Structure 1
Amino acid sequence: MTISNDQDSRPRRRYAPRLPPERRRAQLLDAAFEVLARDELHELSMEAVARAAGVGKPVLYTVFRTRSDLVAALLTREREDAIKQVRETMPTDLRDLGPTAAYAATVSAFVRIVLENPTRWRLILAMPESAPREYREDLRISRAGILAEAETLARAGISLEPRLAGLDPALLAQTMLSFAEMLGRLAVTDPEIYTSDRLSQFANAFIATIARPVPQTDAES
């Protein structure tokens, strides 16, 4: 007579393979980012992240003690990567293309990176209402840094292009940055209507139009 053991028939619990702390952290943040691609920030749950990572919740809680810790870490990573991407699109020398062409190329490159990673850029350009106050402040500081670099470029452009003479470099920088942000916001909120080609073509045409010399009247000539 064989005595059955009920415990032997139970499915064995699957354990996540051990990973170094940094790799585990990156894995969990990648999983949270994956969840965020289909859910809003306020809907992001520890259960969903653990499931996407293929680990149990205890593993998740050993890295991030609370949901707030997880959200803060994810937002920090995406903000830092976004700022790095922006800086990579900004020209270092305006003399090759000229100020107008360089700015048009920068805006087109910016729209392209936004559409390549809409999940990240929704967090930047269409900041969720549930975003923590600390994130909002960090984003404000990061934008101020980009704006300062844009003003430096604006001053260089004004010095190179006689048609820009007389423009306020600080206001020109604000205008350039706000214009790029507006196009990026359209790209992430309604990508089927505002495609990369449509936005880039508009940016090129608009910049060329406003940079065109104003024809002189008979009284001025």
Structure 2
Amino acid sequence: MSERREHILDAARSLIVRDGYAGASMHAIARAAGVTRPSLYSEFTDREDLFAALWDREEDRVLTMSAAATPDVPPGADPVEIAQQSVDVFVDLVLSAPETWRLVLMAGDGMPPSTHDRIERGRESIRERVQLVLNVVTALGDRDDVDTELLGHGVISASETAARLLVGDGGVSREAVIGTLRWMTRRALVMAGVLAATTAGKG
């Protein structure tokens, strides 16, 4: 992807996060990017084409980051260590790309239906990967009464809330988010029968 194309997509992303999709006309995007409208149209045929290119890029980034934060659980691995490492990786990845996460997590007012569908498909893809990890973890605890699909939805919800707090204006610290997510993962491991309840509050 050309440097100018990347610059335009960065400008469009910032504009959408600030003013919403309704405020992201081609004229406004050209102004935000500091390019002429002919230059903009030489890169993207119309607003729909630009939005599609933006979401191709941002979706790939989020899915790559989410995959990095949900590693496989190899035989003999310590699930507590894996879970806590995943928390640290996820939080640092969110902080490394705040504008991407602001875009992905923003409210859907004015969002094109095709964009909404892509977000939902991406969320489901991540949830399925999380569920696969949870299936392995609950098997370690020999539990057959834990609904890993439901637990996976809970993990996604907690992760999205944490990401919103990290990139929002509230100034929630990295340490506070990591500490809370680590506590939640340890509680989840207790529920899965992998970790004793007496150790759940440690670390």
Alignment of 1:173-184 (within 5 A): 173-184=152-163
- The verdict on how the C-alpha distance between 1:106 and 1:55 changes in structure 2, with shifts beyond 3 A counting, is same
Write 1 or 2 for the structure with the bigger share of helix. Answer: 2
1:67 aligns with 2:47: yes
For these two proteins, the number of residue pairs brought into alignment is 193
2:87 alignment counterpart: 107
For residue 123 of structure 1, give the secondary structure of its aligned residue in structure 2: helix
2:132 alignment counterpart: 152
Alignment of 1:190-209 (within 5 A): 190-192=169-171, 194-209=172-187
Contact 2:8–2:30 under 8 Å retained in 1: yes
CA RMSD of aligned residues (A): 2.6
Gaps of 5+ in 2: 199-203
Comparing 65-74 with 206-215, greater Cα deviation is found at 206-215
Report percent identity of matched pairs: 28
For residue 121 of structure 1, give the secondary structure of its aligned residue in structure 2: helix
Instruction: Output the CA distance in 2 between the equivalents of 1:55 and 1:64.
Output: 13
Amino acid in the other structure paired with 1:89: A
The structural deviation recorded for 1:195 is 1.6
Give 1:213's match in structure 2, choosing from 192, 196, 200.
Answer: 196
Provide the TM-score with structure 2 as the length reference.
0.79
The structural deviation recorded for 1:91 is 1.1
- The verdict on how the C-alpha distance between 1:27 and 1:182 changes in structure 2, with shifts beyond 3 A counting, is closer
Gaps of 5+ in 1: 1-20, 216-221
Instruction: Output the CA distance in 1 between the equivalents of 2:181 and 2:123.
Output: 21
Amino acid in the other structure paired with 1:159: A
Give 1:187's match in structure 2, choosing from 160, 166, 184.
Answer: 166
Deviations 1:7-51 (A, max 9, x none): xxxxxxxxxxxxxx8554334223323544654333224334334
Instruction: Output the CA distance in 2 between the equivalents of 1:110 and 1:69.
Output: 30
Larger radius of gyration: 1
For residue 65 of structure 1, give the secondary structure of its aligned residue in structure 2: coil
2:62 alignment counterpart: 82
- The verdict on how the C-alpha distance between 1:89 and 1:207 changes in structure 2, with shifts beyond 3 A counting, is closer
Contact 1:125–1:181 under 8 Å retained in 2: yes
